[in-house]
Amino acid sequence: MSDSNLEAEEQTSYDETATRGQPAQPAANQEALTDLLTEPLTKAYVKAIVALYALLGAGMGLIVILSEIVDESIVDGGIGSDFVALTFAGIPISGVPHIAATIALLVGGYLGVRMAADDRQTMLTAGAGALAGTAALWILSSFLAVSQLDNTDIEVGGLIINAVVLGLVVGAIAAGTVYVMRNLVPDVQRSAA
């Protein structure tokens, strides 16, 4: 290896080491968040993520509806059977935060490895998709599940506010997962280079 190649390699290695752990400086021509959200690649991924979350939400709600249509008890008689029915219908309402957070890890991991865009756009895509998807998942599954419970109504305003707040947290999980996949997982770093 010639001296000039060795010097160039050392300089590249130094530059990479010097910039690790330091906040990235925004480029003068860096795109605005709204511009990134309207790019076709971002919109396509967000649409697919939301569709997956909505599909899961509708499926969870339909499971409760179909279990009521079949009308076969899971537990025989007494208070236990009412508790099982209430718990079964309550899973789409109370279990969604945990399900959405788990899916956010999968979404962020997938986009971190597969989406052909810079870190910022990929993190924004994962976050926006998980936020909107979580809202769709929780609202659809809750409405469908509550429709099967007697004397139970849903507070629409509270559900929407909680879905948005939960969606922000889940979106942060998805975006954080992209960051981890792209910056901390050695195999992904090597394949992206």
Residue 109's pLDDT band (boundaries 50, 70, 90)?
very high
* Separation CA 127–CA 59 (nearest Å): 23
Residue 147's pLDDT band (boundaries 50, 70, 90)?
confident
Residue 7: per-residue pLDDT: 45
pTM beyond cutoff 0.85: no
Residue 9's pLDDT band (boundaries 50, 70, 90)?
very low
Give the DSSP H/E element, type plus range, for residue 107.
helix 96-114
